[in-house]
């Protein structure tokens, strides 16, 4: 009926033995997703289908720092917006915002001010670490002890081994985040297609079912110097969940580390800062975007910068020590040169240059539009991408807009510098 419609799924479930949630396969067929974060999905969808819009479901009565934390966490994970559940917890009967509504409005205001656009235009700076995503292993773990019961409990209760697979995977996810490692899930078809060539570490958490083709790629990966962390369940079955006569790699194999729990990969975390943070490191043009999100208020001491380091939330150059919180995480952008001059012309051509007068390669400028009476007109305001020092913005004036000179205020999201100009309403709009 509508060939151009976006195909979407709402409220995604954890991958399990019976629900068909093989997100690698499903994501290839979708155009837009409203996911949950559970089951490690924050590290699946952005990599299984790069560029797919993600608006994770949020709300559910959370307030205060918890509501802030969830939104920043989703941003770090690659979400491009939010799906809010529901208006009863956001609005009071008189339509004023509840505590939850105020918390979410605070975060969204910052994201819509240009920070969200910075993330949209950036790319995760990976550390070459992959975690095996294997639907065959999920099924293989369940069938070893799973039971179908009349009261239909969830699969964690009906199969201890499936619960153990989840526990081992989640323990690795938590440990890698704590270590500051930028990682992703790598699905079985990707491994079979040779994707391990782009990685240096592969983690097999309860990967009980591995195909012969996967095994051949993993062995090739080991021969070229890759490191594999495998537990006692690795490779006991093939991809059809048939027991192998002998588990894969049952002897000593160079590069294969045996461990039933997370290990320290000994990689340097972002800025050398250790601790319990949700972290993101992203490439933005020639700059580096770094985020540290703590669970509670904590002081973060930064090492000396090799270039210039901007604080995107507090404004200007970053201090040597920052107090971070779920409401206000550490969000930095490192550049080799300072951003010095912003110009906006009446035709809304925007120019951004550095301290040497050179065009800034990438940035985002936020534009606020005010009518002749001085009121901010939100539906005309927005963000513009700066590419090679230039950006363009437009205002689609309406026939009934207030006549007179409208004021435009532009602000560079990275440096915070501002510029203004006046724009007359075109006669064709009056």
Let me know if 45 is exposed, middle or buried by CB neighbors in 10 A (0-12, 13-18, 19+). buried
Task: Decide: 255 and 268 in contact? Cβ < 8 Å.
Answer: no
Looking at the predicted structure, is the pLDDT value of residue 429 above 60? no
Question: What mean pLDDT comes out for the span 101-125?
Answer: 95
Let me know if 400 is exposed, middle or buried by CB neighbors in 10 A (0-12, 13-18, 19+). exposed
Question: What mean pLDDT comes out for the span 191-197?
Answer: 98
pTM for the structure as a whole = 0.91
What pLDDT sits at residue 430? Answer: 52
Task: Please write down the long-range contacts of 170-174, taking CB distance under 8 Å and 24 or more positions apart.
Answer: 170/40, 171/205, 171/261, 171/262, 172/131, 172/203, 172/205, 172/262, 173/40, 173/43, 173/131, 174/262
Task: Please write down the long-range contacts of 337-342, taking CB distance under 8 Å and 24 or more positions apart.
Answer: 337/307, 337/308, 338/308, 338/415, 339/310, 339/363, 339/412, 339/414, 339/415, 339/417, 340/417, 341/417, 342/410, 342/411, 342/412, 342/417, 342/418, 342/419
Looking at the predicted structure, is the pLDDT value of residue 404 above 70? yes
Looking at the predicted structure, is the pLDDT value of residue 4 above 80? yes
What pLDDT sits at residue 428? Answer: 57
Please give the share of the chain, as a percent, with pLDDT higher than 90.
87
What pLDDT sits at residue 301? Answer: 96
Q: Which of 56-60, 74-78, 98-102, 129-133 has the lowest mean pLDDT?
A: 56-60
Rounded Cα distance between 156 and 7, Å, is 30
Q: Write down the mean pLDDT value for the chain.
A: 94
Question: What mean pLDDT comes out for the span 205-210?
Answer: 98
Looking at the predicted structure, is the pLDDT value of residue 413 above 60? yes
Q: β-strand 256-258 against 308-311: which pairing, if any?
A: unpaired
Which of 12-21, 60-69, 190-199 is the most confident on average?
190-199
Rounded Cα distance between 305 and 390, Å, is 27
What pLDDT sits at residue 424? Answer: 84
Task: Decide: 172 and 131 in contact? Cβ < 8 Å.
Answer: yes
pLDDT tens for 271-326 read 999 888 999 999 999 999 999 999 999 999 999 998 999 999 999 999 999 999 99
Output 317 or 147, whichever has higher pLDDT. Answer: 317
CATH numbers and ranges of domains, the chain = 8-123 (no CATH), 129-258 (3.40.50.880), 271-335 (2.60.40.1180), 339-429 (2.60.40.1930)
What pLDDT sits at residue 217? Answer: 98
What pLDDT sits at residue 157? Answer: 76
């Amino acid at each position: 009926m509508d060939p151009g419609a976006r195909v979407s799924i709402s409220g995604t479930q954890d991958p399990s033995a019976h629900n068909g949630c093989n997100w690698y396969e499903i994501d290839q067929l979708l155009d837009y997703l409203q996911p949950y974060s559970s089951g490690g999905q924050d590290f699946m969808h952005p990599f299984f289908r790069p560029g797919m819009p993600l608006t994770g479901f949020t709300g559910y009565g959370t307030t205060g720092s918890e509501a802030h934390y969830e939104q920043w966490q989703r941003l770090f994970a690659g979400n491009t917006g939010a799906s809010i559940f529901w208006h009863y917890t956001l609005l009071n009967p008189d339509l004023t915002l509840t505590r939850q509504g105020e918390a979410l409005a605070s975060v969204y205001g910052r994201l819509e001010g240009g920070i969200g656009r910075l993330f949209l235009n950036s790319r995760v700076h990976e550390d070459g670490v992959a975690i095996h995503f294997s639907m065959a292993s999920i099924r293989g773990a369940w069938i070893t002890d799973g039971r179908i019961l009349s009261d239909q409990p969830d699969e964690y209760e009906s199969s201890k081994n499936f619960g153990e697979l989840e526990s081992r995977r989640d323990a690795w996810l938590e440990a890698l985040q704590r270590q500051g490692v930028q990682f992703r899930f790598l699905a079985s078809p990707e491994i079979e297609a040779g994707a391990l060539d782009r990685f240096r570490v592969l983690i097999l958490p309860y990967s009980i079912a591995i195909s012969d083709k996967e095994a051949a790629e993993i062995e090739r990966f080991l021969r070229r110097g890759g490191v594999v962390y495998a537990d006692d369940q690795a490779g006991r079955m093939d991809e059809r969940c048939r027991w192998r006569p002998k588990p894969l790699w049952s002897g000593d194999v160079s590069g294969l580390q045996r461990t039933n729990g997370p290990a320290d990969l000994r990689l340097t975390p972002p800025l050398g800062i250790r601790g319990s943070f949700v972290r993101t490191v992203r490439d933005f043009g020639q700059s580096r975007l770094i985020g540290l999100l703590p669970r509670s208020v904590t002081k973060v001491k930064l090492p000396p910068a090799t270039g210039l380091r901007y604080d995107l939330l507090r404004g200007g150059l970053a201090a040597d020590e920052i107090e971070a919180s779920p409401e206000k995480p550490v969000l930095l952008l490192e550049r080799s040169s300072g951003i010095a001059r912003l110009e906006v012309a009446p035709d809304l051509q925007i120019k951004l240059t550095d301290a040497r007068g050179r065009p800034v390669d990438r940035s985002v400028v936020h534009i606020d539009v005010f009518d002749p009476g001085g009121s901010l007109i939100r539906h005309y305001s927005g963000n513009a991408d700066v590419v090679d020092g230039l950006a363009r913005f437009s205002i689609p004036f309406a026939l009934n807009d207030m006549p007179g000179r409208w004021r435009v205020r532009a602000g560079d999201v990275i440096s915070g510098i501002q510029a203004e100009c006046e724009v007359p309403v075109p006669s064709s709009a009056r």
